[in-house]
Structure 1
């Protein structure tokens, strides 16, 4: 309940940074983390962990040799994620600083990105800035997963984001719809190589 209230408060205060009124459901968490081969993933980053629901699932699946960190802009959500997942490294920063954070972590390239950012509420310039920063650190075999709400596809930014995924990745697949999520959502599962 506490995490749901924290999430709702951040949505009301920062609607362009928090894209939903409630944390992701267990079904959406499963759809997201099932997008990766956890036996081979070694350099894993989470963008926008919110209250840490994906973070918790990631930590349970990480290979013992894998490195992992998350990046969150909201100081309150950083605290919530750290409280939920005390073993996780959570940076209070912007994902546009991914190259600098990777350098700090001793990571040359990322092979897996789990993303909870509200792409449909971002401007064209912010979408581009984040993508440019991310593409600068992805390995050629990288996988990327993010979710979208069905109503977001009706927005210009949601359509623009879908096109950007198609232009950037060799494969882009959509998961089944997670109807138990508020609002209903699906996962974009993307890879740089076929």
Structure 2
């Protein structure tokens, strides 16, 4: 309950930074993380962990030799993720600074990015800046997963983001719809 209240407070304060009104459901978590080959990926990054529901699933699946960190702008949400996942490194910063953060963490090319950012609420310039920072750091064959709410797909920013994915990745697919999420969502699954 505390998690949902914190999420709503953050959404009310920063609706363009927190794109949801409730934490992601277990079904959406599975759709996001089960697509990755956790036995082979070693350099993993999460953008926008929020309350840490994806982070928790990532930490449970990480290979013992893997490096992982999450980037969260909200200090309150970062604290919640740290409380939920004490083993996870949560960095309070912007995903636009990915290259510098990777350098500071001793992480070379990224194998996987799991993303909870509200892309459809971002201006085109911010979408481009984050995407370019990620693509520059991602290895060939690297994988990227992010979710979208069905109502956001029809908005201009949502359509623009879908086009950006198709221009940035060799493969772009979609998961099944997770109807038991508030609101219903699907996962973009992309391969560089």
State the TM-score, normalizing by the size of structure 2. 0.99
Q: What secondary structure is seen at the aligned counterpart in 2 of 1:30?
A: helix
Alignment of 1:86-101 (within 5 A): 86-101=86-101
- Give, in angstroms, the shift of residue 31 of structure 1: 0.3
d(CA) in 1 for partners of 2:154 and 2:30?
Answer: 25
Q: Aligned residue for 1:80?
A: 80
1:171 corresponding residue in structure 2 = 171
Q: Following TM superposition, by how much is the alpha carbon of 1:40 offset from its aligned partner in structure 2, in angstroms? A: 0.5
Moved over 3 A (4+): none
Unaligned runs of 5+ in 1: none
RMSD: 0.5
How many pairs were matched up?
A: 192
Using the TM superposition, give the Cα deviation of residue 150 of structure 1 relative to its aligned residue in structure 2, in angstroms. Answer: 0.2
With the length of structure 1 as denominator, give the TM-score of the two structures.
Answer: 0.98
Alpha-carbon separation, structure 1, partners of 2:143 and 2:106: 20
Aligned equivalents of 2:30 and 2:59: distance in 1?
13
Q: What displacement does 1:136 show?
A: 1.5
Cα offsets for 1:64-107 (capped at 9, x unmatched): 00000000000000000000001100000000010111001101
Query: Hey, what's the Cα distance between the residues in 1 that align with 2:86 and 2:107?
Result: 21
Q: What are the within-5 Å matches in structure 2 for residues 30-179 of structure 1?
A: 30-179=30-179
Which runs of 5 or more residues in structure 2 are unaligned? none
The yes-or-no answer on 1:181 pairing with 2:181 is yes
